[in-house]
Every structure is written in structure tokens, then in C-alpha cells.
Amino acid sequence: MSLRPLTTPWFHGPAGHEKIWLGCAILWCFVMSLMMPYWHFRGKQNSTGEAYTVKPADFFARTEKFVASNRVGTFKNPIANALMTELPIVEPPAGGDAYLMGRMWQWYPALRLRKGETYRLHLSSLDLQHGFSLQPLNMNFQVLPGYDHVLTLTPTSTGEFTIVCNEFCGAGHHAMTGKIFVE
């Protein structure tokens, strides 16, 4: 009985249907446990959490240097009340490093990438936490101030992609966007 103390011996091993279910459930948990290491070695999409500590001012300097030496154009931002109405478009060398900085409320700069090339994309924040959410692909990563979060990324489709912020960062959060163009 569920509501009164048990006074008769109650220890029994599982039997019958219960045993069948227990077996299925354990097996399923085992399959799920194996899927993650399997994908880690065989799958192409993984979050390894590669990161280095960095002072926001240093990350800002690296980004500015990256923009100055790789700028290829200008993007006119159509978003109302965005922090910047114009963004530099920057193309990192294939296989090279790209820097993307989040701050209230802008992803900076805009990037131009080549399909099939691999880049090391450095993400960090100058102020609060932000969320890197690449749309319409729907790939999401956390961005923290003080951490240089490195994604080794290979675009496999072309077009215009929008980076949305998906970690709350104040009143302009919904308008915090950025751009990645893939050719």
C-alpha cells in the first residue's frame, strides 16, 4: 500500500512484463549513450568547447586588426535601431581565422566565406553573454565575455545567413543581428 508503512517483506526481483520493460529501457539508454561518442568520432557536427581566456579589450583589438587587413566591402544594415547602420564585410583567408564580436546590440563585422572551405571562427563578447544563432540553419552556440570560443566551421551551402542573438542581453536583444555571406 502506498500510504501506510510496509510491514511484510517487500523485496522481489523484477519479473514478467516488468522485467521485459526494464530490459528494453536499459538497452535503449545504452544505445543513446553510445550515439554520442560515435558521433564525436564519425559525425561532422560537434561542440568541442574549444576556448581560450581573453580580455574583452584584447579581443576587440584582434577583431579590429582582422577587419583592417581583410575588409572587402560594406553592408548596409536594414534593421531599425541596430547599433551600426553600416558593417564592414570581411573575408578571412581560406583555412584562416575569422573574428566575430558580440556586443549590445550588434554582431561585428559581417563575414564573407567560401563554400567548402574551413575557417576558425573566434566568438567572444565585449559586455554581456550573447547567443550565436545562425539562421536559417539553426546552429546555436553560447558566447561569453572573457572567453574566445573557437568554432572550426565549414560552410556547405551558399547564400545570405543571419546571426540572431539568442541569449537575453537587454532591451535591444531582439534587434541584435549579424551577417554571413557564403559564395
CA 29 vs CA 18, 58, 61, 133, 156: distances in Å: 16, 45, 47, 30, 33
CB of 56 to another protein, least distance (A): 10
Tell me the one-letter amino acid at 116: G
Q: Which of 103, 169, 178, 180 binds Cu ion (CB under 5 A)?
A: 169
- Nearest approach, Cβ of residue 97 and another protein (Å): 14
Closer by beta carbon to Cu ion, 118 or else 133: 133
Dihedral sign computed on CA atoms, order 177, 64, 170, 138: positive
For another protein, give the closer residue by CB, 26 or 61.
26
Q: What is the sign, positive or negative, of the torsion defined by CA atoms of 10, 15, 17, 21?
A: positive
Residue 145 class from Cβ within 10 Å (0-12 exposed, 13-18 middle, 19+ buried)?
A: middle
Q: Lay out the site mask for Cu ion across 97-136 (x = CB under 5 A, - = otherwise).
A: ---------------------------------x------
Torsion angles phi and psi, residue 20, rounded to 5: -60, -50
* From the list another protein, Cu ion, none, partner contacted by residue 111 (C-beta under 5 to 8 A by kind): none
What is the DSSP pairing of strand 177-182 with strand 110-113? parallel
Binding-site member from 67, 165, 177, 181 for Cu ion (CB under 5 A): 165
- Does residue number 89 form part of the binding site for Cu ion (CB under 5 A)? no
In the complex with another protein, the residue whose CB is nearer, 18 or 69, is 18
Residue 102 contacts residue 147 (beta carbons within 8 Å): no
Q: How many residues lie near Cu ion (CB under 5 A)?
A: 4
CB-nearer residue toward another protein: 39 or 68: 39
